[in-house]
C-alpha cells in the first residue's frame, strides 16, 4: 500500500510539473509574440526615420560630433521674415527632447504639424506630406524614436514674428496588397516629402495644380539652386538606372555629385531597391 501511495504521489507531482510547464509556455508565447511584434515595429520605424523620411537631414547637427548627437537638433537656424526656428531635439531625453511627450503628441507633431502646446509648427516640418502616413507607420516612427539614445541638448526656442499658415497636399493612400508600383511609389514620395521642394514655385508656394514643375529656389551654405522639374518630359531621357543612381548615389547622369540639399545618398541609398524602383515608377507617372 505504501508503494502504491508513493506511485500516486509521484504521478501527481509529474502532472503538476507538466501543468506548470504548460502554463509557463502559454504565458511565454504571447509575450514572445509581443516582443517580436515590437521589434518588427521598431525596425520599420528605423527604416522610415533613417532612410525614407531622412529626419537627420534637419534634426541632427553637422560636424564630427554628429553621430554621437544623432537627432538631437539641427545646428543651422532656419530664418524667414516670419520666424526663426531650429529643428528640434527628437531624442527621448525628458528635459530637452521628446521623452516627456505622449505618443499622441508626437504623432500630432508629425502628421498635423502641431507642437505640444497646440501651435502650428513652421512649414519646414513637412507635415502636409506626413499627413499621408498610415497609422501603423506613425506608430512605428514613434516606437523607434522612443529607443534612440537620449541626448541632452537644449535647442533655442522658436521665435514667431507672424502667424504660421498651415499647408496642405493631396493625401497618398497607404498601399494595399494589390497596389501598383506607381501607387506604392506615390506613398513613398509623400513620406519622403519630394514635392516639398520639387512641388513649390519661385514664391515658395506649393503647386497643387502642377506638381513636380520645379523652379523653387533653395538657399543655404551651398549657395542658391533651383529645383529641377520632375513631371512631364523632364525625365524622359533618363534611364531607370540613372534615376536609381540619382537616388542611391546622389549623382546626375554625368556622374557628378548633386549639391545639397538633394545629395541624400546617405538616406536614400539605404532604401530597398524595390522602394526606389517604386519611386521611379511614380516619377514616370507624373
CB 60 within 8 A of CB 71: yes
Cα–Cα distance for residue pair 145/72, rounded to 1 Å? 11
Distance set, CA 151 to CA 60, 72, 140, 143 (Å): 11, 6, 21, 17
Domains along the sequence of the chain with CATH: 53-168 (no CATH), 174-286 (1.10.760)
Cα–Cα distance for residue pair 28/98, rounded to 1 Å? 32
Q: pLDDT digit string (tens) for 18-67?
A: 655 555 555 555 666 677 899 999 999 999 999 999 999 999 998 888 89
Read off the pLDDT of each residue in 189-212 and give the average, rounded to a whole number: 90
Q: pLDDT digit string (tens) for 178-191?
A: 999 999 999 999 99
Query: Alpha helices, DSSP H only, in 96-191?
Result: 103-112, 127-130, 135-147, 181-191
Least confident stretch, 39-48, 78-87, 101-110, 207-216:
207-216
pLDDT averaged over the chain?
89
Contacts of 110 (CB under 8 A, 6+ apart): 127, 130, 133, 138, 141
Q: What is the pTM of this model?
A: 0.86
CB 251 within 8 A of CB 245: yes
Amino acid at each position: 500500500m505504501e508503494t502504491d501511495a508513493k506511485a500516486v504521489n509521484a504521478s501527481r507531482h509529474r502532472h503538476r510539473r507538466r501543468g506548470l510547464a504548460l502554463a509557463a509556455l502559454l504565458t511565454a508565447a504571447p509575450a514572445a509574440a509581443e516582443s517580436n511584434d515590437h521589434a518588427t515595429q521598431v525596425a520599420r520605424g528605423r527604416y522610415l526615420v533613417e532612410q525614407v523620411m531622412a529626419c537627420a537631414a534637419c534634426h541632427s547637427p553637422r560636424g564630427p560630433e554628429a553621430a554621437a548627437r544623432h537627432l538631437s537638433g539641427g545646428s543651422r537656424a532656419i530664418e524667414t521674415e516670419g520666424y526663426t526656428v531650429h529643428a528640434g531635439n527628437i531624442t527621448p531625453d525628458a528635459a530637452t527632447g521628446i521623452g516627456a511627450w505622449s505618443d499622441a503628441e508626437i504623432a500630432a507633431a508629425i502628421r498635423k504639424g502641431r507642437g505640444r502646446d497646440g501651435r502650428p509648427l513652421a512649414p519646414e516640418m513637412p507635415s502636409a506630406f506626413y499627413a499621408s502616413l498610415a497609422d501603423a507607420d506613425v506608430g512605428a516612427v514613434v516606437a523607434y524614436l522612443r529607443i534612440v539614445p537620449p541626448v541632452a541638448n537644449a535647442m533655442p526656442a522658436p521665435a514667431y514674428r507672424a502667424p504660421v499658415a498651415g499647408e496642405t497636399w493631396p493625401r497618398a493612400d497607404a498601399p494595399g496588397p494589390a497596389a501598383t508600383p506607381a501607387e506604392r511609389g506615390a506613398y513613398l514620395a509623400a513620406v519622403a516629402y519630394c514635392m516639398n521642394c520639387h512641388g513649390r514655385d519661385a514664391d515658395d508656394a506649393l503647386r497643387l495644380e502642377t506638381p513636380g514643375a520645379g523652379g523653387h529656389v533653395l538657399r543655404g551654405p551651398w549657395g542658391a539652386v533651383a529645383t529641377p522639374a520632375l513631371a512631364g518630359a523632364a525625365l524622359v531621357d533618363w534611364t531607370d538606372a540613372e534615376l536609381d543612381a540619382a537616388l542611391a548615389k546622389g549623382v546626375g547622369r554625368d556622374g557628378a555629385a548633386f549639391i545639397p540639399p538633394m545629395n541624400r545618398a546617405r538616406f536614400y541609398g539605404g532604401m530597398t531597391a524595390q522602394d526606389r524602383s517604386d519611386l521611379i515608377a511614380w516619377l514616370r507617372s507624373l
